Structures are given as structure tokens and as C-alpha cells.
Structure 1
Amino acid sequence: MNTATFLEILTVAEKLKCNTRHSWTSSGRHESVAEHSWRIALMALLMRDEFPEIDMDKVIRMCLIHDLGEAFTGDIPTFEKREEDSEKEDKIFFQWIATFPTHYREEFTELLKEMNELKTNEAKLYKALDNLEAVIQHNEADISTWIPLEYDLQFTYGADKVEFSSYLRELKKEIDQRTTEKIAKKNED
């Protein structure tokens, strides 16, 4: 890839550092889209031993690119996002990667198609991590940042995505326990 193209791609991707999500960090600021993507990639890396049959390199690549379209659209919280929003994000993403060198254009196109279809174990794992990281992040944020619907959403979000794996079901159970404790502590105060 020539250096100008490389830097142009990084310039667009840098917007993910600036675009914030609905989630808050433990230090009391909004989480960036880039931080979310980085952490789900780290989650995948740390789960290699739990999923030896899965191409974890592919999962990490999925995690790193999954929100690149949000460099153009910004983040829309899951409870507000409509199918039209996802379609618009994908359309912009595909238009952008059409400008990439052939190898990367083909790779990113295939990855996004696989991620959207959610048929392979790699895609299922990426999507589960995407959902679980959001729930983990909410547990790490001050509960005063939660809106009312998140008290239930903490337990339901991602629950369907972990069903294919006993390890992920156990992880979701542990996350739910921490959510329960966080809510109970708030109610004590």
C-alpha cells in the first residue's frame, strides 16, 4: 500500500478516537468507539485458549474493523439503532473500502459480510464480544450514568449471542452477578 493511501485510511480511522459511545468509562468520561473496538480485540486475544478451534486472528480482525463505518456515522446506541442505520453504516463502509488496495478491499468486504451473516463461529464470537464488552463497560462506569432501561438491558443484552458457547454463557453469568451486585449497592445507598 502506498504511504499516502495508508495515511488517508488512518486519518479516517482516527475519527473513532473522537466519536464517543453511549457508555462511560470508570474515570467518568464517555468511551470512544476506538476504545471499545480495542477492548473487544483484547478480549478475543485473551480467549484463544478457550476457543482453540476458532481462527482467533480472524476474530481479532473482525473486532478491529467492526465499527469503522462509525467514523462516518458516529455511534448510535443499540436501543436507538434501527436496521436503516446499520444499512447506512455498511453502505458507507463499503464505499470507503472500495478505495482500498485490492487485497484489503477484498479482505474487509469478506469479513464484514461474514460478520453480518453471523453463521461462522468466528462471527458469532466477535458479535458476542461486541455485546459483552458493552455490558462490562456499563458495570465499570458509575451507575449514575445509566439510564432507566439499562437496568434490564444489562441482563438481556448479549444473552442470545453467548448461547453457542459454554464459556461465554459462564462469562455472561459472572457479568450478570456483578450487575446484580452493582444495582444492590446502589439501592443500599
Structure 2
Amino acid sequence: MTDAELHGCLDFIRQTEKLKDVLRNSYTASGRHESTAEHSWRLALMAMVFGPDLGQVDLLRVLKLCLIHDLGEAIGGDVPAIHQTGGPDKAAQERADLITLLEPLDAARRADFLALWDEYEAAATPEARLVKALDKMETIIQHNQGTTAPDFDHGFNLDYGRRYADGHPLLARLRRLVDADTRARMAEAAPPPRRTGSDG
């Protein structure tokens, strides 16, 4: 590695610190906003936990995809999944932001990181589809574990990203457990039934 490449890598690392300040629509169990960096960290941890049972996949590649998948949000911020329809193309903007963020790196690293992001976005490999499935489940787990607004739509989570988990036996089982937690949260949030008739 040349001195210029070393300085470029260090500058890139400094710029990615912005991801720590990008707040998501999720809250932690203590009631504070979760950051995108925290989401990416726990997604990578999930991949590490379940990795030995995910079958014939490249676990190192899975972990790289976990770390890169939301990196563009360091510039443009997070758009909650429920608000991603009907607006500007979130993926195109996030990709453009990632390209900006990658500028300090040498050409080979820029190409490698962007290729990983493209692979994830297109769900083009078994590794990318696994990360997509875990990404959606980590988000739902946080919604179930953390505090939510009174009007939060937990029902949206029952279909969110399901298609990525359904094709993998372990992830389908995990998704059923996560969905059971979602239904429990929905039941907790439901208003009590109205009483009818005489209270005698």
C-alpha cells in the first residue's frame, strides 16, 4: 500500500463516522433512536451467529455485504421502509452517495466496495439474499424489542422482506419466530375490546 492509499483509507474511515449519527425510525429498548451504524453492526453479528448453519455460503463475503449495505446512508440518511414507495429512487440516491463516500479510496477498493453494494442491492448471489433476509429481520427484531410510537404499523412487518427468508430453511424458521414476536407486539398495542350490554 502506498502512502497515498494509506491516507485515502484513513480519510474514508473518518468520513464513515457520519453513519454513527444517522438515525433510523427504530428505537432501542431504552427509548433512544437507533443509528444506522448500530443496525449494521447487529446485522453483521446475526450473520456471525447464524453463519455456521447457513449452508454453503462465503461467510466473509456475507459479513462484507452486511457492512456495506447501508453505507451510502452516511450522506443521504435513512428512509424508513414504509415510506420508500412512490418517492424518488432510494437505491439510485444511495448508490450515488456511496460513490461520493468512496472517493478517497484507490480505484481497486472503490470498485470492490461498489460491486459489493450492487450485489446486495440486486440480491444477485446466495450471500446477498441471505443478507437481505437478515437485514429485514434485524429491523423487525428492533421494532419488536424497542419502543414504538402508538400509531406504529407492526402489521407492515409481517410481509416486509419475507421473500428473502422463505427460500432458506433456517431463515424461514427464524422468520416464523420473529413474526410471532410481531404478532405479540400487535396484540399488546391493540385497544381493549369495547364492552357491550349492561354493566349490571
Question: Same-fold call, TM > 0.5?
Answer: yes
Pairing partner for 1:173 from 172, 176, 180 = 176
Higher alpha-carbon deviation: 73-82 or 19-28: 73-82
Pairing partner for 1:135 from 132, 140, 155 = 140
Is the CA contact 2:102–2:110 (under 8 Å) kept in the aligned structure 1?
yes
Judged with a 3 Å threshold, the aligned counterparts in structure 2 of structure 1 residues 140 and 18 are, in CA distance, closer, same or farther, namely: same
Q: CA deviation at 1:98?
A: 4.1
Pairing partner for 2:151 from 137, 147, 150 = 147
Higher alpha-carbon deviation: 103-112 or 171-180: 103-112
Identity of aligned residues (%): 34
Is the CA contact 2:73–2:97 (under 8 Å) kept in the aligned structure 1?
no
Distance 2:83 2:73 in 1: 15
Is the CA contact 1:138–1:146 (under 8 Å) kept in the aligned structure 2?
no
Q: CA deviation at 1:83?
A: 5.3
Q: 1:20 corresponds to which residue?
A: 23
Is the CA contact 1:132–1:172 (under 8 Å) kept in the aligned structure 2?
yes
Secondary structure of residue in 1 paired with 2:83: coil
Pairing partner for 1:41 from 41, 44, 52 = 44
Secondary structure of residue in 2 paired with 1:52: coil
Q: 1:100 corresponds to which residue?
A: 105
Pairing partner for 2:93 from 88, 93, 104 = 88
Q: 1:63 corresponds to which residue?
A: 66
Output the TM-score relative to the length of structure 2.
0.86
Q: 1:9 corresponds to which residue?
A: 12
Question: 1 or 2, which has the higher helix percentage?
Answer: 1
Distance 1:83 1:164 in 2: 30
Secondary structure of residue in 1 paired with 2:71: coil
Output the TM-score relative to the length of structure 1.
0.90
Distance 2:38 2:98 in 1: 19
Q: 2:165 corresponds to which residue?
A: 162
Is the CA contact 1:24–1:30 (under 8 Å) kept in the aligned structure 2?
yes
Judged with a 3 Å threshold, the aligned counterparts in structure 2 of structure 1 residues 147 and 5 are, in CA distance, closer, same or farther, namely: farther
Secondary structure of residue in 2 paired with 1:23: strand
Please give the root-mean-square deviation of Cα atoms over the aligned residues, in Å: 1.8
Is the CA contact 2:22–2:74 (under 8 Å) kept in the aligned structure 1?
yes
* Amino acid in the other structure paired with 2:20: K
Q: CA deviation at 1:188?
A: 7.3
Aligned length: 187
* Amino acid in the other structure paired with 2:90: D
Q: Which runs of 5+ in 2 are unaligned?
A: 193-200
Which portions of structure 1, spanning 4 or more consecutive aligned residues, are displaced by more than 6 angstroms?
none
Deviations 1:2-53, CA, capped at 9 Å, x for gaps: 4432331122111111110001100100000000000100011111121130
